[in-house]
Structure 1
C-alpha cells in the first residue's frame, strides 16, 4: 500500500509540474520541423544542415535526425538540405502559417561526391512527404507489420488490444490477449518504450493490452522475425509499443465520449456493495480482510470462542446483492503538450495525458452445459480504467534525454449468479460469486541518445523500473442446493457445513518489480568497399515476484438450528446475532504450495551487421546470447524449489532485395526460445469458478527452442499502400501447452512440454486506393484493405510425459486455421468526413488440449463488423465520432466437439463450456484541440 501511494503521488506531482509550466511556453510564430533519414536503410541522419533559401536562418538535425526552424512569418519557403556524402535537396512550396507547425520529413540518398554545397535534386513539399512515407514503409530490417497513430485515430478502437486485431496475422483472446500467427499469447513478447513488459496476469504468461489506451500510442509495430537487438523470448511476434514523445507544437486537447451496449445499458444491474471510490479505480478498503484477522498459524492452533467471533467480524460481511441500472459507458481524456525551442539548437518538450473510462456490462444467460452440469450464468461486471502518461524530453546538440512514465489501473468488480442442475449431486443449485480484481501497471524509463565522434557513431542507454500489481482482496463464493426430487416449495440450503475451494473466500496479492538496464552502440563502417553499420549491446532484466494467497471461510457449527441457518437468504446468512451466538467457525484451507516467491535474471549481449550488398541487396545478420537464471521458492520448506540456469545462442539473418523502388523480396532465418513463466512453474492451484476447473503449474517445464524461417514479397504501389505475400515455417522442441490433466474426476488445466511441433502458413495483405478502377474523386478517396492468414500446425505428443494425454497428434493450442481482417475507408468533403468499415473473423481454434476423460475445448469462429463515422468541425480543431462495434453480436462460444464434426452444434450434439452474446456497442465521442 505504501508503495502504491508513493507511485500515485509521483504521477500526480509530474502532472502538476507540467501543467504549472505550461504558461512558460510561448506559442511563437510559425515553424517547420521534421525528420531526415537515409533512403536505403531508413536510419535517421544526424548533423544534416537545414537552411531556408535566401536566408541565413538554419539548423542541424539532432541525435534523432530531427530539426525545427522556428520564428517564421506566414508564407511559402524553400528549404535546402545538405549533408556530406549525400545528394542535397531543395524543397519548395513549404507553406507556413502563424502559430502552426509545418511537418516536412525528408529522405536523402548517398552520392559519390563529397561536396557539401552540391544540390542536384529539386522537389515540392507534397512530393517529398510522399517519398518519406515510402522510405518508412520499405526499410524495416525485419519482416514486420505496424499501425501508426493516424490509422488508430480512424478506427473505433479504444485500447491497444482492439488495435492489434487490425494487424496482419494477429488475433485477440478474451478481448485482451494477443495471438500472432496462430501462436498463443505465451509465445509473444511485449515491449513498451524499448523495454520488456512483465506479465500482467496472475495465472498466465500474457500482457493485458487493454490497459494501454490507444490514444496514448505513437506507433505499434509487430516484428514477426528476429534481429539480434530484439529479445529472443518469442516465436509469434515481438510487439513494440512506443508512446508519444515530444509534441510537434503546443496544444491542449480534451475528449469526452459515451457508449450504449445493447445487452447492458439501462438494464437491471446486480452487484455487491458499491462505493464512490470504485468509480475512481480504488477500493475504499471495505473489501479487504481486517487487520486484526488472525494468522494462519493461530487458526490452525485453534481459536477460543471469543477469538473466533472476533475473527468472523473481521471478515467483510456485506453479502447483499444490490440492484442498480447499468449506466452508459463513459470516456474522458485530457492531454497537454508543450515544446520549447531554446538557444543553441536545444529543445525541451513535455506531454501529459490523463484518461478515464467506466463501463458496466452484463452477460446474461451464459450457457454451461456439459457432463453433469446444465447451468445458466448471469455475469455483471463493473470496471473502471484510469491512465496517466507523463513524458519529458530534452535535446541539446547531438544528444537527447527522455523520461517516460505510464501508469494504468483497472478496477474490475464482478458479480455472478448461477442457476441450474448439477447431476453429480442430484441437485438444483443457486450459486453466488462476488469477485474484485485490481490491476495496476507503473513503468518509468530514462533513456539517452548520443552521437559520438565524427563518424556518426551512436550510443543509446536506458534504465527502467516497472511494477505490476494484481490484488484480489475478497473473492467470495457461496452455493445453495436442494435435491432434484424435492418439492418446488422446498427452500435451498447453503453449502456451509464444510469448507472447499468452491465456497471458500480467496484473498490474494501478486506484486512484481522489474528492473532493466541496456546500452547499445552503433558505428558506421566500410565493408567490402560498401557502407555498413555495426551494432552491439548489452542488457539485463531482473524480476522479483511475491504471491500471497489465503482460502478462508465460515462454516456452520452443527446444532438444532443449523439447518434453519443454512436456509437463510444470502444477505442475512452471516448476521451479527448468529455470529454472536457462536453458530459459525472460522476455517482455512491452507496449502503452503499455493504461495511462492520468485526471481529471475536475464543477461543478454548481441553483435550485428547491417550490410549493403551492391545497390539492391541488404543483409542484417548477427547473433544474440541470452543467459537466464530463475528461482522459485514455495512457502512450504519441504517442497522442491525450482532452479533453472542456462544460456542460449540465437543467430539470425534478414535479407532484403529491392527488385525496383517499389518491390522488395525478403527472406530470413532466426532462432528463438520460449521460457516458462513464474505461474507456469508454480504448483499453486487456483479454482476457476466460471470454468469449473483448477489451474495448476508444472515445476518440471523446460524452455522451448524454436527455429524459424520466413519469406515475403512486398509491392508498394503508392505511398501508404501495400500488397504483400508472406510464408513462414516454425519448428518447436518442447513446446509449452495447456491441457486437461484429468486422471481424477476433477478437471485441472496444467502445462506440459509437447515433444515436437511445427507451424507453417501464408499471409496476404493489401492496402490500396480504388482509383485504379476508375480515376474519380470518390474512388481516389476510398481505400480498401485486407489481410488474410492461412495457418497449419501439427503437434506430436511425447508418450512418456506421464500426464495422461491421450492424443497422438493434433493442432497446436491457441492456433487458428485462418484469420481475416478487412476494411473500407472513405473520406469526403475535403477530408472533413471519414467513414470506416471493419471486418474480423478467426477460425475455430483449440483452447485446451484433451486429457483422458475430458476432450479438447474449442473456440467457435464468429464474424465481427465495426463501423465508424468521423466528422471534423470548428475549423478542424474539433472532431465528432460515431462508432458501432460488433453490430452482428454473434455468440462467443467455447465447447467440447463431442460429435467431432468441427463445428458447434450445441446440445445434444456438443457440450457447451460457455456461450453468450456480449451485445453490440454504439458510442459517440467528441474531442477538441486548442
Structure 2
C-alpha cells in the first residue's frame, strides 16, 4: 500500500525525470523547417509580445519575455515575415526555409509616421500591456509596471482596481480584496507568475493583496475567461501578479520618499530599488533583484450602531491607531542555454506587520451598561514563494515546459491583549426610534458615566498562529502543426499536482483580578490627534486607560487565568491534494479566425481535523472528516478579426470555486445556555458556474484601445450562511451553518477607453484619457426569503483619469467609483447589511528634473471618502469610518 507521502514524492519525481530526460528526444517533419529570431526596439531593448506572421499563411506567433520567437512547422520555400507591434512601425523580412533546417531572422522595429512613443515611459508601458492583451486567445486585461507607477497605488490591490470590472473590499481605507465583475473574493483567485499563492489569513483561500507592494510587479494580468491550461478554481477571474524579469541592459533604479497622514499627523517613509541585467558570454545569464519597504501610520474614526425593533440597542465609538510596515523582495535568475532551451529560478518574499491600537467605547443601551476596552495587537503576515522551471524545444515543433514550486504563507498574532472596564446602571439619552433617525447624528449620551465607577472586567490574551503550505509540480507539452495556408495551430496537454496543508492554532486566556479596581487608577491623558468625527460627539471618546499599564499587569503574573475553550474551535488541520490534467487545441482558420477548445479535469481530496465543544464541558473533542470530488471544466474561445486593428472575442467556459477552509471544517459549538449551535459543514459542494463572454476591441494609434463587452454567469451551489431553528431534546435552538444555495445568476456589460492624443499640436499633445465603466446585475435565491443580489456585487463600477505627459511632466487626476454592495444576507430584506458606494479622488504629479532624476508627489483620498455600511435602508447606519487624506513626496533615480 503506497502511503500519501510516498505518492506525493513519486508524483514530483516523475515530473522532474520527464523534464530532464525528455528534451533529448528529437522529432523531425519532412517538408518543413523552423524560423526563429529576436525582435528589438528603437532603443535596443527586446520587444515582448510582438506578433510575427508568415505572410500568405495563417502561421503566427509572438515574442516571449526575452524577445525571441519561434515558428514551426513552416513549409519550405521563400516567405515574407511580418512583424506587428502596436506603437511601432510594421516591418517585413524575406526568409528562405529549407526542409529540416532552422533559419534565423532578427528584426529591429522603429518609430514611424505620426506615432510618437519615444521618451514616454507611459506609452511604452501601455504598448507592452496592450500588445500582450491583443495577442491573447482569452479575454484579459493587463497593466504594465510603467502604468502602475502612473497611479498613486501602493499595493497590488489598489493597482488592480484601475482595471475594468474590478472593485475592492477595503480595510482602514486601503484596498485589500479583489472583486471581479461582482463576484466576491472567494470566487476569484490570485496567482504569482501563474501559480496560485496560499493565503496567510485564517479560514479563507483569497489573498489579502495589501500585503504585496506594487513596486515588486512587472505587470498585473486579469483573466476574465479561463483557458484549459489554467487552474480552474476561479469564477470571476484570475489576477496574476507578474514579478519583474531581468532586462537586456543593466538597470539601476532607486526611489526614496516620505508620506503624511492628515488624521494621525504622522509621516510615512518609503523606498524601493531595482537592480539587474544580463551577464556572461552572449548574455546568457539574467539577474534581477527588486526590493520595497514602507512604514505608514494611519488611523480611523469609527461608529457602529445596532438596533432592536427600530430602537438603538448598542452604539460603539472606535478610535484606531495603526502602523503598517511592508517589506518585499523578488529575485529572478534565468539562463538561456540555447535558442532551444532556457531555465529560471524565481523567488518572492513579503513581510507585512500590522500594529493596531483600538480604543472602543461601547454603550449597551438595552442593558444599561457601558464598557471601555482597548485592543493592543501586532500581526505579522509572511508570503514566501520559490519556483524552478524551464522550457525545451524537442525536434521542430514540440515544446516542453515544466516547473516545481514551494509556496508558504503564515500569519502570527502573539499575545494580543483586549482589556476592558464596565459600568452598570447607566442612564442614556438617545435620539433613535422606529420613526426617527438622523444618520449624521446618532446619539446615546450616558448621563452618569464616571471613570471612578468603571470597574475592571477582564483581559483577554490571544495568540493565533497559522500557515498554509503548497508543494506544486506541473508539466506541459505543446505541439505545433501546419496543414495548409488556411489551417494550422497547436495541440497542448499537461498535468499538475498540488499538495496543500493549512493549519490554524488559537490559544485564548481570560485573565481576571481578585482585587477590584477602577479605571481612574490607570487613567491615561490620551486624546485623539484630531477631533473625533469632526467633533460631532464632543469629548465622549475620552477618557481612556493606559494600555501599557494593562500589559504590565499581565506580565506581572498577579492575574488569575482561565483557558477559553470556545476559541479552540477555530483550530484545524486540513490537507488538500489536487491532481489536474487538460488537453486543448488552438486552431488558426484562414486569415481572421482563431479558435481554442479544450477540457480540464481537477480531482481534489480533502482530509481535515477540527474540534467540537459542548457548553459546560472542560475540553474540546477532535472531529475528523474527508471529502473527494472531481470537476470537468470545458472551455472554448473564439477570436475573429473584424479589421486590421479590431477583433471580436467570444468565450464559453465552466469554472469553479472551492469552499473556504473554515466553512468546510467539521467543527461544532453548542451553547446550551443561549440555545445556539454554530458549526462548519464538511458536506459543502464546490460552487460551479457556466460563463458566457463577448467582447469587441478596437486598438487605437498611437497606443490605445476602445472595448465593449457583455458577460453572463450561471452559478450552482453558491455558499451562504444559513440560519434555522431546530428542536433538539425538546428545546428550540438557533443553528447557524454555511450551506449551498440553489441558483444564482450574474450579468452585465463593460466599456473601456484609453489613449494618449500625441497627434495633437503643442501643449495639447500631452493630454490623455483613461476610463472604464462596468454594469453588473445579479440574483441569488435563498430559502425562506425573497431573492437578492450576490454579496460583494456592485451595480456600477468605474474609473476615470485625466492624464498629461509631456515636457518631462506627468500628471494624473484619477477617480474611482464602486456602487453599493450587499455585505451580509439577513433573514429578510430589512435585515440585509449593505456597504454604501465609494468614490475616491487621487492625484499624481511627477516632474523630470534631470536626465536620471524625478520628483514625485501623490495625494490619496483627497475628498476624505468614508466607509459606510447600513442595515436595510441607508439611514440605518451600522458602521461608518473616516480616514481623512494622505500624501507622499519622493525622488526617483534611474540609470
Q: TM-score, normalised by structure 2?
A: 0.78
Specify the alignment match of 1:65 in structure 2: 69
Specify the alignment match of 1:521 in structure 2: 477
Specify the alignment match of 1:496 in structure 2: 457
The Cα of 1:873 is off from its aligned counterpart by 2.6
Give the whole-Å Cα distance in 1 for the aligned partners of 2:76 and 2:375. Answer: 67
CA contact (8 A) 2:502 2:574 kept: yes
Q: TM-score, normalised by structure 1?
A: 0.75
2:794 matched to 1:794? no
Specify the alignment match of 1:813 in structure 2: 791
CA contact (8 A) 1:412 1:438 kept: yes
The Cα of 1:370 is off from its aligned counterpart by 3.9
Specify the alignment match of 1:857 in structure 2: 833
CA contact (8 A) 2:215 2:272 kept: no
The Cα of 1:658 is off from its aligned counterpart by 0.3
Residues 405-454 of structure 1 show CA distances to partners (whole Å, capped at 9, x for unaligned) of 11001111111111241123211221211122110001001111112212
Give the whole-Å Cα distance in 1 for the aligned partners of 2:762 and 2:799. Answer: 26
Give the whole-Å Cα distance in 1 for the aligned partners of 2:369 and 2:499. Answer: 51
Specify the alignment match of 1:449 in structure 2: 391
User: Residue 767 of structure 1 is aligned with which of 754, 760, 774?
Assistant: 754
CA contact (8 A) 1:496 1:566 kept: no
Give the whole-Å Cα distance in 2 for the aligned partners of 1:191 and 1:576. Answer: 43
CA contact (8 A) 1:739 1:849 kept: no
Structure 1, gaps ≥5 residues long: 1-29, 47-60, 68-81, 92-102, 266-326, 498-502, 687-692, 800-805
State the secondary structure of the residue aligned to 2:367: coil
Mapping of 1:478-877 within 5 angstroms? 478-483=419-424, 484-485=426-427, 487-489=448-450, 491-494=452-455, 496=457, 504-527=460-483, 530-557=487-514, 561-562=515-516, 571=546, 584-589=560-565, 592-635=568-611, 639-682=622-665, 697-738=680-721, 751-770=738-757, 775-797=760-782, 799=783, 806-829=784-807, 832-851=808-827, 855-875=831-851, 877=852
User: Residue 472 of structure 1 is aligned with which of 394, 406, 413?
Assistant: 413
Distance 1:574 1:123, change over 3 A: closer
Residues 137-194 of structure 1 show CA distances to partners (whole Å, capped at 9, x for unaligned) of 4211101111011211211111211111100000110211000001111010111012
The Cα of 1:523 is off from its aligned counterpart by 0.9
2:139 matched to 1:143? yes
Specify the alignment match of 2:62 in structure 1: 44
State the secondary structure of the residue aligned to 1:810: coil
Residues 191-219 of structure 1 show CA distances to partners (whole Å, capped at 9, x for unaligned) of 10121111232143311112222122111
Specify the alignment match of 1:5 in structure 2: none
User: Residue 159 of structure 2 is aligned with which of 141, 144, 163?
Assistant: 163
State the secondary structure of the residue aligned to 1:758: strand
Distance 1:641 1:494, change over 3 A: farther
Give the whole-Å Cα distance in 2 for the aligned partners of 1:746 and 1:893. Answer: 33
CA contact (8 A) 1:605 1:624 kept: yes
Give the whole-Å Cα distance in 2 for the aligned partners of 1:820 and 1:440. Answer: 32
Give the whole-Å Cα distance in 2 for the aligned partners of 1:621 and 1:889. Answer: 48
The Cα of 1:651 is off from its aligned counterpart by 0.5
Give the whole-Å Cα distance in 1 for the aligned partners of 2:194 and 2:570. Answer: 34
Specify the alignment match of 2:351 in structure 1: 409
The Cα of 1:702 is off from its aligned counterpart by 1.4
CA contact (8 A) 1:741 1:851 kept: no
CA contact (8 A) 2:752 2:773 kept: yes
User: Residue 461 of structure 1 is aligned with which of 396, 402, 405?
Assistant: 402
Q: Which deviates more from structure 2 when the two are superposed, residues 695-704 or residues 734-743?
A: 734-743
Specify the alignment match of 2:271 in structure 1: 332
Residues 561-601 of structure 1 show CA distances to partners (whole Å, capped at 9, x for unaligned) of 53669976555976989998966344443565331111101
Mapping of 1:871-890 within 5 angstroms? 871-875=847-851, 877-890=852-865
State the secondary structure of the residue aligned to 1:716: strand
Residues 758-795 of structure 1 show CA distances to partners (whole Å, capped at 9, x for unaligned) of 000000111134478xx423343211121100100001
Give the whole-Å Cα distance in 2 for the aligned partners of 1:256 and 1:120. Answer: 39
Give the whole-Å Cα distance in 2 for the aligned partners of 1:589 and 1:717. Answer: 63
Mapping of 1:223-234 within 5 angstroms? 223-234=223-234
Give the whole-Å Cα distance in 2 for the aligned partners of 1:142 and 1:703. Answer: 24
Distance 1:873 1:86, change over 3 A: farther
Distance 1:583 1:249, change over 3 A: closer
Specify the alignment match of 1:53 in structure 2: none
CA contact (8 A) 1:737 1:813 kept: no
Structure 2, gaps ≥5 residues long: 1-42, 118-123, 428-446, 524-544, 613-619, 670-675
Give the whole-Å Cα distance in 2 for the aligned partners of 1:109 and 1:669. Answer: 38
CA contact (8 A) 2:155 2:212 kept: yes
Residues 9-65 of structure 1 show CA distances to partners (whole Å, capped at 9, x for unaligned) of xxxxxxxxxxxxxxxxxxxxx95544454347873369xxxxxxxxxxxxxx97953
Give the whole-Å Cα distance in 2 for the aligned partners of 1:768 and 1:444. Answer: 37
Give the whole-Å Cα distance in 2 for the aligned partners of 1:125 and 1:580. Answer: 73
The Cα of 1:90 is off from its aligned counterpart by 9.8
Distance 1:360 1:778, change over 3 A: same
Distance 1:641 1:522, change over 3 A: same
Give the whole-Å Cα distance in 1 for the aligned partners of 2:788 and 2:306. Answer: 25
CA contact (8 A) 1:492 1:567 kept: no
Specify the alignment match of 2:291 in structure 1: 354
Specify the alignment match of 1:316 in structure 2: none
Give the whole-Å Cα distance in 2 for the aligned partners of 1:885 and 1:580. Answer: 44
Distance 1:685 1:382, change over 3 A: farther
Distance 1:562 1:827, change over 3 A: closer
State the secondary structure of the residue aligned to 1:186: helix
Give the whole-Å Cα distance in 2 for the aligned partners of 1:878 and 1:842. Answer: 36
Distance 1:196 1:157, change over 3 A: same
Specify the alignment match of 1:219 in structure 2: 219
CA contact (8 A) 2:497 2:578 kept: yes
The Cα of 1:331 is off from its aligned counterpart by 0.3
Give the whole-Å Cα distance in 1 for the aligned partners of 2:384 and 2:573. Answer: 21
Q: Which deviates more from structure 2 when the two are superposed, residues 209-218 or residues 855-864?
A: 209-218
Specify the alignment match of 1:87 in structure 2: 80
Residues 218-253 of structure 1 show CA distances to partners (whole Å, capped at 9, x for unaligned) of 111111001101111011001111111112211222
Distance 1:537 1:565, change over 3 A: same
Give the whole-Å Cα distance in 1 for the aligned partners of 2:581 and 2:846. Answer: 47
State the secondary structure of the residue aligned to 2:284: strand
Distance 1:837 1:408, change over 3 A: same
CA contact (8 A) 1:521 1:537 kept: yes
Specify the alignment match of 2:542 in structure 1: none
Distance 1:133 1:408, change over 3 A: closer
Give the whole-Å Cα distance in 2 for the aligned partners of 1:562 and 1:119. Answer: 86
The Cα of 1:879 is off from its aligned counterpart by 1.6
CA contact (8 A) 1:37 1:65 kept: no
The Cα of 1:888 is off from its aligned counterpart by 0.9
Mapping of 1:230-309 within 5 angstroms? 230-265=230-265
State the secondary structure of the residue aligned to 2:318: strand
Q: Number of residues paired by the alignment?
A: 762
CA contact (8 A) 1:133 1:719 kept: no
RMSD of aligned alpha carbons: 3.7
Distance 1:42 1:354, change over 3 A: farther
Give the whole-Å Cα distance in 2 for the aligned partners of 1:340 and 1:654. Answer: 40
Give the whole-Å Cα distance in 2 for the aligned partners of 1:892 and 1:221. Answer: 28
The Cα of 1:362 is off from its aligned counterpart by 1.3
Give the whole-Å Cα distance in 2 for the aligned partners of 1:124 and 1:579. Answer: 69
Specify the alignment match of 1:916 in structure 2: 881
Give the whole-Å Cα distance in 2 for the aligned partners of 1:203 and 1:718. Answer: 47
